[in-house]
Amino acid sequence: MISGANDAVHDRGAGIPTYSLHGLALDADVPLVLPTTTRPADVVFRTAEPRRPEPCAGELLASMAPGGEPFYDVWRCDGRYLLRFHGYADFLIDPALSAIRGHAHPGADPRMVAVFLEGSVLAILLVLRGELVLHASAVDGPEGVLALAGGSGAGKTSLAAGLCAGGAPLVTDDVLRLDLSHDPVLAYGGSTELRLRESLSEAASLLPGHPLRTTADGRSAVRVGAGLGEARPLRVILLPALCEGLQEPALRRLRGAEALMGLIATPRTAWCAPQPQRDLLRHLSRLVAHVPVFEARIPWRPGTAREAAASLASAVEATLARVG
């Protein structure tokens, strides 16, 4: 049984902000570095008392264990959902996928609840709602959004930081929700911060004058925007590979099954249940039929994010102008 995920979480508290991200209005009682909205809440989040994790006997939907160490599991039991981040917190989601309750595990840093909520929890909730979410950072431009899709450590956040340093507005970092019901495909704004692996001093050097903080999980967060506002057309998707010794960017268009497999190889959530896997395959098949996907090999040395991003932006413009 999953206990505690009940409708009482919908009760709105006085003074609790409603944040805007991924096209959702999120009423949450934890501080998030996000724009607020006056829209009625789509999702309500409330923190609850810390509690020890209990065994779950439901259906396992997703699981991630990098290096063999359990990181998170997603379970469905009696129509409700349990998201367990081992050693950190449990998140309980109601059957309507509109109310979330977060319980930190005893002894865990309670600030991690907000980190998981803004990232993995909402990404999983959106997929359970039938939406397409890419493991991607993205920036905006006059012709539309450029997405950088890849797994952890692929360089998508560092490249997005370099593009922002060159003046591109940030769309999101690490979680990108897309709307396939429109033509062109639309990209929603997410995080207003870039969560970099670099030190605070390195982040400040790359993006001077922007607010900086150290996150609960030790990242250097740089606030580079106030939020995208309206969803924007998705222009192109890049699958970056940072290459030391390369002299100039090399872009190669991926088509059909190759583009599909490139995106499947960079999942935001490790689904093991068949329905989310079928939904992902269906969504990505439509996506690659409407949006160009490129493999992008990018010259890289530590401390050169601005230069690498500038050369990448030039190569993208030249390539898209050539291929139409």
What are the tens digits of pLDDT across the range 219-267?
999 999 777 778 999 999 999 999 998 999 999 999 999 999 999 999 9
Q: Is residue 97 packed enough to be buried (19+ CB in 10 Å), middle (13-18) or exposed (0-12)? A: middle
Residue 29 CA: distances (Å) to CA of 9, 26, 34, 118: 11, 10, 13, 12
Residue 241 lies in a domain: yes
Count other C-beta atoms under 10 Å from residue 179's C-beta.
Answer: 15
Instruction: Tell whether the model's pLDDT for residue 287 goes beyond 60.
Output: yes
Instruction: Give kind and range of the element (H or E) at residue 202.
Output: helix 200-206
Residue 1 lies in a domain: no
- Which of 103, 129, 155 terminates a domain? The answer is 129
How far apart CA 110 and CA 97 sit, in angstroms, is 23
Residue 23 lies in a domain: yes
How far apart CA 179 and CA 186 sit, in angstroms, is 5
Within this chain, do residues 119 and 138 fall inside the same structural domain, yes or no?
A: no
Q: What is the pLDDT of residues 180-232, one digit of tens each?
A: 999 999 999 999 999 998 888 999 999 999 999 999 999 999 999 777 778 99
Q: How many domains in the chain?
A: 2
- Which of 129, 160, 185 terminates a domain? The answer is 129
Within this chain, do residues 78 and 214 fall inside the same structural domain, yes or no?
A: no
Residue 192 lies in a domain: yes
- Which of 109, 129, 149 terminates a domain? The answer is 129
In the block, residue with structure tokens 């490790």: 270
In the chain, DSSP assigns E strands to 18-21, 24-28, 43-48, 59-64, 72-77, 80-85, 89-93, 99-104, 132-134, 136-139, 145-149, 170-172, 176-179, 186-187, 193-196, 212-214, 220-223, 232-243, 250-254, 293-299
Rounded (5°) CA angle 46-275-183:
85
Instruction: Tell whether the model's pLDDT for residue 139 goes beyond 90.
Output: yes
Region for residue 25 given its phi and psi (left: phi exceeds 0; alpha: psi -120 to 50; beta: otherwise): beta
- Confirm if 156 and 149 have CB atoms less than 8 A apart: yes
Q: Is residue 189 packed enough to be buried (19+ CB in 10 Å), middle (13-18) or exposed (0-12)? A: buried
Within this chain, do residues 157 and 98 fall inside the same structural domain, yes or no?
A: no
Pairing of strands 24-28, 43-48: parallel
Range of the domain at 98: 7-129
Within this chain, do residues 231 and 305 fall inside the same structural domain, yes or no?
A: yes
Q: How confident is the model at residue 5 (pLDDT cuts 50, 70, 90)?
A: low
- Average pLDDT (261-285) is 95
How far apart CA 99 and CA 6 sit, in angstroms, is 8
Q: What is the pLDDT of residues 75-124, one digit of tens each?
A: 999 999 999 999 999 999 999 999 999 999 999 999 999 999 999 999 99
In the block, residue with structure tokens 């030391």: 244
Residue 2 lies in a domain: no
Residue 242 lies in a domain: yes
Rounded (5°) CA angle 269-62-242:
25
Within this chain, do residues 104 and 176 fall inside the same structural domain, yes or no?
A: no
What is the maximum alpha-carbon separation in the chain? 58
Within this chain, do residues 115 and 182 fall inside the same structural domain, yes or no?
A: no
Within this chain, do residues 149 and 222 fall inside the same structural domain, yes or no?
A: yes
CATH label of the domain that carries residue 182: 3.40.50.300
- Confirm if 100 and 45 have CB atoms less than 8 A apart: yes
Within this chain, do residues 244 and 291 fall inside the same structural domain, yes or no?
A: yes
Residue 87 CA: distances (Å) to CA of 4, 29, 93, 123: 19, 22, 19, 20
Residue 201 lies in a domain: yes
Q: What is the pLDDT of residues 19-61, one digit of tens each?
A: 999 999 999 999 999 999 999 999 999 999 999 999 988 999 9
Residue 75 lies in a domain: yes
- Using DSSP, state whether 248 is helix, strand or coil: coil
Within this chain, do residues 105 and 213 fall inside the same structural domain, yes or no?
A: no
Count other C-beta atoms under 10 Å from residue 227's C-beta.
Answer: 19
Within this chain, do residues 146 and 216 fall inside the same structural domain, yes or no?
A: yes
Kindly report whether the global pTM for this prediction surpasses the value 0.85: yes
Within this chain, do residues 212 and 75 fall inside the same structural domain, yes or no?
A: no
Within this chain, do residues 110 and 92 fall inside the same structural domain, yes or no?
A: yes
